[in-house]
Structure 1
């Protein structure tokens, strides 16, 4: 049994109208940065009922409204979805390219409605432009897929099915020996496409708001785990992650080292240039350190200008070499304020897992003692716990 196309259009209009009304209340409570994306998505959904209503009234109202304006509104509606996702992905005002593609339907649709009546060409052209909009939407879904979230899979599947139907429709109508003579003709292809059009906005909107919810949850998780100024781990999350690394190191007999970095004379930078410059210097320090770390290494902020780097599967001798590279990288930073170069350097203490230093607090304490030894030694240098112990033994022997 084939679906009556006019009935399908009017049904789609009713469904999208109810959906758009629901979205109107939801979008009012959206918070930035998702507000613009939600408004664009709601706009796309709100334009559809009017477009489908005009198409469904073909024969009862002038073709200017039913054919030209109806097709134009449907294309404009679907143009808002890639724009909404672009705004969601980048939190910036999206490109007008989808709107331009949607507007470009008006001329050929008008031409093949009045000057050279041809339903087949009108169908192929509008399907092609809608297909281009679906491809843009799929590109934005892929661009925003930072994690394998269920909402992204549902949204991608919804638009992929629609793109497939449009592609089949284009090819079918191009080679069909008995082309459409009326846009309201009931054919299997028409029934499949308009049945999809009735369900797709509901499924896609559900998936979009699922993605929004997942994004907010991930943002809250990130805020709870990271330092807001520098973006590195906070002390609580660092404790949790290092506990797992310590247990793994003991189980497999692998070394683990920590580096405690403290910015030298950082108070002088704050006093001379202000805290905003100090914040800039800390972010630059973190960036320089991260550039030299491996994917499995951790960095967290202990407080103030103190940072802790955790080097998994790294012996003390290798950790000292890493610390030297970090120290040199920070010292080489060309930071300027009012044409004056900011002198930024770090003192680094190194400690490695050992029978005498077997838990996280002891490791941090040992690295802290070594770091203060580096401060006393003139700053901008690296001191390891082993070197500090050897120096203490040497001092004791000399005293004897």
Structure 2
């Protein structure tokens, strides 16, 4: 029994509508860009379902209404898909470009369908609009197959490459085939095959979209678990992972890593004077001072209440002492205004250097910590360097 275009269209409409409902109902959150992207994708599926429903009910709809309405729904859905994907992966939305493609595509289809009817040219014009939207999606997803950390992006990229191939095949069949159909609703192998595959494409694209959403969500959770919520720098876990990575690289290349422990002086007095909210602002200001001094490869992390660990790859004992002194001087010469009062903060810093024979981060931290406490005992607001035998010696000093 031959397959009817109307039957396939009705099945596609039911499938797209079911996917739209599942996406909308099955996801929830706090309204971030990921959830908004899911909502846009669900809305696009709803419009696609409406477009397939129109084609399924073509016997009850005037040809002009089917042509104008069906293409309007399809092009609007494609525009929403472009925006949703680009929103999800954090790329510029290209809303103006997607809207222009939809408007120009719909106008050309209307002209070639009503004013100057030509089915093959109309399909070609509409296909150019589809290709434009697909290329916007591919642009947002490109590079996904080279990044081993984002397989879902690669899957979705292949879905749109196959969609591009389907559009090209349809136009080739219409222009080069024998007895091509003269309307989308005309029963023919070309139309049946095209509607069948184009109806499956939203399913595959939605699966890829959900996989990408899940992948991005897991990555964000991974990052959040490694960020100190108050200061925005690496937390103890993240700085531990970074130190292991730096030490491995330095050992492989016979390099070195500078280790600095930075501790705010008399911080309890800040909390007593301004409360914990004021103390939090002071810590945030301290982090800002440290970050202004660091190079791109340096990392700072919070390892205690007011204690921070700085890792600086490729520096020797002299270099780490210079870096520590710059941090100390910058903090000492900076002021933060809280409750109409200036707060002056100083820091004490202990340093150590990882190099040949000294690759144990626990031992390095212990040496830097001993140097830090020596700086505290010596009067604070100064830098002390740990020597190889763990006896801290002053690198630079500054009167408290």
| Deviation, structure 1 residue 160 | 1.6
Structure 2: distance between partners of 1:101 and 1:84:
16
Q: Are residues 179 and 275 of structure 1, via their aligned partners in 2, closer, same or farther at CA, if it must alter by over 3 Å?
A: farther
* 1:310 corresponds to: 311
For the Cα contact (< 8 Å) 1:9–1:56, is it kept in 2?
yes
Aligned counterparts, 1:187-336, within 5 A: 189-242=190-243, 255-263=256-264, 271=273, 274-275=278-279, 277-289=281-293, 291-294=294-297, 297-312=298-313, 314-327=315-328
Q: Give the aligned length.
A: 388
| Deviation, structure 1 residue 72 | 1.0
| Deviation, structure 1 residue 283 | 4.4
Deviation per CA, 1:238-285: give whole Å up to 9, x if none.
345545666787798764431112345666776469346325414423
Structure 2: distance between partners of 1:86 and 1:225:
26
Aligned counterparts, 1:102-141, within 5 A: 102-141=102-141
* 1:396 corresponds to: none
Q: Is the partner of 1:349 in helix, strand or coil? A: strand
| Deviation, structure 1 residue 156 | 0.9
For the Cα contact (< 8 Å) 1:120–1:179, is it kept in 2?
no
Deviation per CA, 1:117-174: give whole Å up to 9, x if none.
2212221221111222222222333498976322111111111211233245457657
Q: Are residues 141 and 337 of structure 1, via their aligned partners in 2, closer, same or farther at CA, if it must alter by over 3 Å?
A: farther
Structure 2: distance between partners of 1:147 and 1:329:
41
Structure 1: distance between partners of 2:122 and 2:19:
28
Q: Are residues 140 and 276 of structure 1, via their aligned partners in 2, closer, same or farther at CA, if it must alter by over 3 Å?
A: farther
Deviation per CA, 1:285-333: give whole Å up to 9, x if none.
35325x4142xx5432112332112345643233324434555666787
Q: Are residues 360 and 148 of structure 1, via their aligned partners in 2, closer, same or farther at CA, if it must alter by over 3 Å?
A: closer
For the Cα contact (< 8 Å) 1:261–1:306, is it kept in 2?
yes
Q: Are residues 336 and 204 of structure 1, via their aligned partners in 2, closer, same or farther at CA, if it must alter by over 3 Å?
A: farther
Say which is worse superposed, 93-102 or 127-136, in terms of deviation: 93-102
Q: Is the partner of 1:43 in helix, strand or coil? A: helix
Q: Are residues 259 and 120 of structure 1, via their aligned partners in 2, closer, same or farther at CA, if it must alter by over 3 Å?
A: same
Q: Are residues 286 and 136 of structure 1, via their aligned partners in 2, closer, same or farther at CA, if it must alter by over 3 Å?
A: farther
| Deviation, structure 1 residue 390 | 7.5
Q: Is the partner of 1:259 in helix, strand or coil? A: strand
Say which is worse superposed, 1-10 or 304-313, in terms of deviation: 1-10
* 1:32 corresponds to: 31
| Deviation, structure 1 residue 64 | 3.5
* 1:80 corresponds to: 80
Q: Is the partner of 1:303 in helix, strand or coil? A: coil
For the Cα contact (< 8 Å) 1:225–1:237, is it kept in 2?
yes
Structure 2, unaligned runs of 5 or more: 395-400
Q: Are residues 381 and 17 of structure 1, via their aligned partners in 2, closer, same or farther at CA, if it must alter by over 3 Å?
A: same
| Deviation, structure 1 residue 358 | 6.9
Structure 2: distance between partners of 1:374 and 1:216:
44
| Deviation, structure 1 residue 39 | 0.8
Q: Are residues 62 and 251 of structure 1, via their aligned partners in 2, closer, same or farther at CA, if it must alter by over 3 Å?
A: closer
| Deviation, structure 1 residue 50 | 1.2
For the Cα contact (< 8 Å) 2:282–2:336, is it kept in 1?
no
Structure 2: distance between partners of 1:161 and 1:77:
18
Q: Is the partner of 1:274 in helix, strand or coil? A: helix
Q: Are residues 125 and 243 of structure 1, via their aligned partners in 2, closer, same or farther at CA, if it must alter by over 3 Å?
A: closer
For the Cα contact (< 8 Å) 2:9–2:56, is it kept in 1?
yes
Structure 1: distance between partners of 2:114 and 2:376:
85
| Deviation, structure 1 residue 386 | 2.9
TM-score (norm 1): 0.78
Deviation per CA, 1:368-390: give whole Å up to 9, x if none.
33234445667654331139948
* 1:397 corresponds to: none
Deviation per CA, 1:340-397: give whole Å up to 9, x if none.
98756644321134899774344223213323444566765433113994858xxxxx
| Deviation, structure 1 residue 23 | 2.5
Structure 1: distance between partners of 2:392 and 2:366:
17
